[in-house]
């Protein structure tokens, strides 16, 4: 048999691969070597809106999801898409300066929030801003992280890959012949949470996601192991972003509220439908996570457990951790972030071999303004250490056998809870290590295992790890650790209606003699399962584990590690389970610490520590519970 050698031109081969539309000239001029460069005119870019049909039926007709598109007019090849699906485009704004979408009189989008379109469209990308179901101009009902929300964003990816239906404002069918179908989703907070949810569907065409300060389980965002973060949070978040008439989604909202276990704190089917972690096995996209290590809005367990799940399934991933709270790395380390993001998208959306996939997997801010790259995360050499509790002591050698510590709830705020740990304070128990003889690196998710007896059917329990020692730290209780300056810098091209200039920012630091590292809460009656509660009997001992938020820190030699136990926590949670008396069997209780470095030794007697004002006290912080995601 004679085999014919078929020689294809670069243009013909690109057509087969979907990079060039038939009839278009070959050679993407926005690619030079291993990077994309800004060659297309942003001011004259194509700006259009399509309404994509979502497969979920909200009210007898398929929902239509508004997608605003900005793409290079002069491009002679198909281009990939950077997409941000958000509920905030017209209600609340995006970014540090709360930018909104803006439209001309004819409905054409003339200004997009953030810099993504300004920076990337000239470099041969399209940017698509999607109004999630039930928000802004989309129909349907916003179900707060649920199937309709995720399906609305996924539908746009399907349409970009020729698998869906969309229409223009005048009813004509719209096609996406201008794109390769390769999509990267990005977004902070709620927007990044949607990216996690869409990736968990395994949708083809989604090549990468960049979730920033994002949720991976909505239960863990609105509930803390059986304890409510605040009352009526489901209704609050829905109402906060709802773009429909007030009564359009009333029936749906009533069902969600009923299913969320408001009175029990249980993990119900409502929450299972909003937990993306079990579906990490479906993720095809690479994942680039960024998170503030002191984020008190979207807790760090959200990235920590998601990262672990992705690792178990071999998903390509990268991580940035920085010292501030619920912030975007664009405002924490601007130039380096934009450069890294550019190379990430170039590699995963344009297929450029720039080596970013072979670079260290983790980038961490280890102290204010101090950054380092590490091969992986958690830190190399970290292992779980079991640190026993004693009579006010913590660490190896703690003499806890036969020691019972008892305390009665006083609903203490955080500063009162952790200050002056050597003193006897009603409403808390304090356990202190000896001063560290060498640096101690904590990297991962700690947890506290307690053997307890309670005089009531349940109790709300809290636990905090505290660093007792003087240091200069990012003051994340003040503006999340970052403040705006009077200067600005520009990150991309501009049009008459949309620039890419943003106020510069600076970290806020404070020098203090102690700081809370990580926190955790649990309802004692959920000790068997989060799916149901089991009332406690007053004469029986129970075992309970309180997971703490994921953290990464290095404590210097000479500092003391403290574990502080409290009960009801008005600064962070809402509960009617107050005034309980709890006994802790110290000999059968312990702290599990993912760590490397110094051995944590228990002192013979607790060290004497006197502290000054805490961070929240200095800033007169208001209560935390009810907050928007953005």
Hey, which residues does 195 pair with through a beta bridge?
A: none
**Integer Cα distance of 61 and 297 in angstroms:** 36
Catalytic residue positions? 189, 295, 326
The token pair at 459 is: 């109790």
Cα distances (Å, whole numbers) of residue 198 to 80, 216, 560: 17, 11, 43
The per-residue DSSP string of 574-622 comes to: B-S--S-EEEEEGGG-EEEEEEEES--B--SSPPP------HHHHTTPP
Angle at 124 between CA 122 and CA 128, to 5 degrees: 90
- Nearest Cα neighbor of 51 from 208, 207, 164, 162 is 164
Residue 417 — φ and ψ, nearest 5°? -65, -40
The per-residue DSSP string of 25-78 comes to: PS--TTEETTEE---S-STT-EEEEEEEEEEEESSSSEEEEEEEEEE-TT-SS-
**Integer Cα distance of 406 and 537 in angstroms:** 17
Helix (H) or strand (E) holding 431: strand 429-432
DSSP state of 277: G
The 3-state secondary structure of 482-521 reads EEEEEEEEECCCCCCCCCCEEEEEEECEEEEEEEEEEEEE
Angle at 264 between CA 260 and CA 267, to 5 degrees: 50
The token pair at 245 is: 């008439």
**Integer Cα distance of 65 and 77 in angstroms:** 26
How buried is 538 (Cβ within 10 angstroms: 0-12 exposed, 13-18 middle, 19+ buried)? exposed
**Integer Cα distance of 262 and 260 in angstroms:** 6
The token pair at 480 is: 């999340």
Helix (H) or strand (E) holding 307: helix 301-312
Contacts of 219 (CB under 8 A, 6+ apart): 267, 271, 274, 275, 530
Cα distances (Å, whole numbers) of residue 510 to 9, 475, 514, 577: 62, 6, 11, 35
The token pair at 605 is: 């007697």
């Amino acid at each position: 048999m004679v085999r014919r050698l078929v020689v294809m031109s670069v243009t013909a081969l690109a057509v087969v691969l979907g990079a060039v539309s038939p009839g278009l000239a070959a050679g993407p001029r926005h690619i030079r070597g291993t990077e994309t460069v800004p060659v297309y005119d942003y001011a004259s870019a194509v700006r259009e809106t399509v309404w994509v049909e979502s497969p979920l039926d909200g009210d007898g007709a398929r929902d239509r999801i508004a997608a605003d598109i900005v793409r290079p007019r002069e491009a002679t090849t198909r281009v990939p898409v950077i997409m941000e699906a958000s509920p905030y485009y017209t209600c609340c704004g995006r970014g540090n300066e709360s930018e909104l979408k803006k439209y001309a009189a004819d409905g054409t989008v003339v200004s997009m929030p953030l810099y993504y379109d300004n920076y990337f469209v000239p470099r041969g990308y399209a940017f698509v801003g999607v109004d999630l179901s039930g928000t802004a101009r989309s129909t349907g009902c916003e179900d707060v992280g649920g199937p309709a929300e995720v399906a609305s964003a996924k539908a746009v990816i399907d349409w970009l890959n020729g698998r869906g239906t969309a229409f223009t404002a005048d009813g004509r069918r719209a096609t996406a012949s201008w794109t390769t179908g390769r999509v990267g989703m990005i977004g902070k907070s709620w927007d990044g949470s949607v990216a996690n949810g869409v990736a968990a569907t395994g949708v083809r065409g989604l090549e990468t996601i960049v979730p920033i300060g994002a949720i991976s389980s909505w239960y863990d965002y609105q509930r803390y192991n059986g304890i409510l973060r605040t009352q009526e949070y489901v209704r609050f978040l829905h109402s906060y972003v709802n773009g429909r008439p007030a009564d359009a989604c009333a029936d749906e909202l009533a069902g969600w509220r009923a299913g969320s276990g408001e009175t029990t704190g249980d993990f119900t089917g409502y929450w299972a439908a909003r937990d993306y972690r079990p579906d990490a096995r479906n993720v095809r996209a690479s994942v680039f996570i960024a998170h503030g290590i002191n984020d008190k809005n979207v807790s760090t367990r959200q990235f920590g457990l998601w990262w672990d799940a992705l690792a178990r399934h071999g998903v390509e991933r990268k991580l940035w951790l920085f010292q501030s709270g619920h912030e975007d790395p664009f405002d924490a380390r601007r130039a380096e972030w934009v450069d890294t993001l550019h190379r990430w998208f170039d590699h995963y959306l344009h297929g450029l071999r720039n080596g970013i996939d072979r670079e260290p997997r983790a980038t961490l801010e280890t102290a204010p303004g101090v950054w380092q790259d590490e091969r992986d995360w958690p830190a190399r050499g970290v292992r779980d250490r079991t640190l026993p509790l004693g009579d006010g002591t913590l660490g190896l050698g703690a003499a806890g056998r036969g020691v019972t510590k008892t305390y009665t709830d006083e609903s203490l705020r955080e500063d009162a809870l952790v200050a002056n740990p050597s003193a006897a304070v009603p409403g808390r128990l304090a356990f202190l290590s000896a001063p560290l003889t060498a640096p101690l690196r904590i990297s991962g998710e700690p947890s506290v295992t307690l053997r307890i007896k309670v005089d009531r059917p349940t109790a709300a329990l809290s636990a905090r790890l505290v660093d007792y020692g003087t240091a200069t730290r990012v003051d994340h209780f003040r503006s999340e650790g970052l403040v705006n300056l009077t200067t600005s810098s520009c990150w991309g091209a501009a049009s008459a209606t949309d620039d890419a200039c943003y106020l510069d920012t600076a970290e806020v630091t404070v020098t203090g003699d102690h700081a809370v590292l990580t926190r955790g809460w649990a309802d004692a009656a959920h000790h068997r399962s989060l799916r149901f509660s089991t009332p406690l009997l007053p004469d029986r001992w129970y075992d309970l584990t309180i997971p703490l938020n994921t953290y990464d820190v290095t404590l210097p030699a000479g500092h003391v590690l403290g574990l502080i136990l409290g009960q009801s926590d008005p600064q962070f949670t809402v509960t009617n389970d107050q005034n309980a008396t709890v006994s802790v069997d110290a000999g059968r209780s312990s702290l599990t610490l993912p760590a490397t470095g110094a051995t944590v030794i228990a002192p013979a007697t607790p060290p004497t520590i006197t502290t000054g004002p805490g961070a929240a006290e200095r800033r007169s912080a208001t209560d935390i519970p009810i907050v928007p995601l953005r």
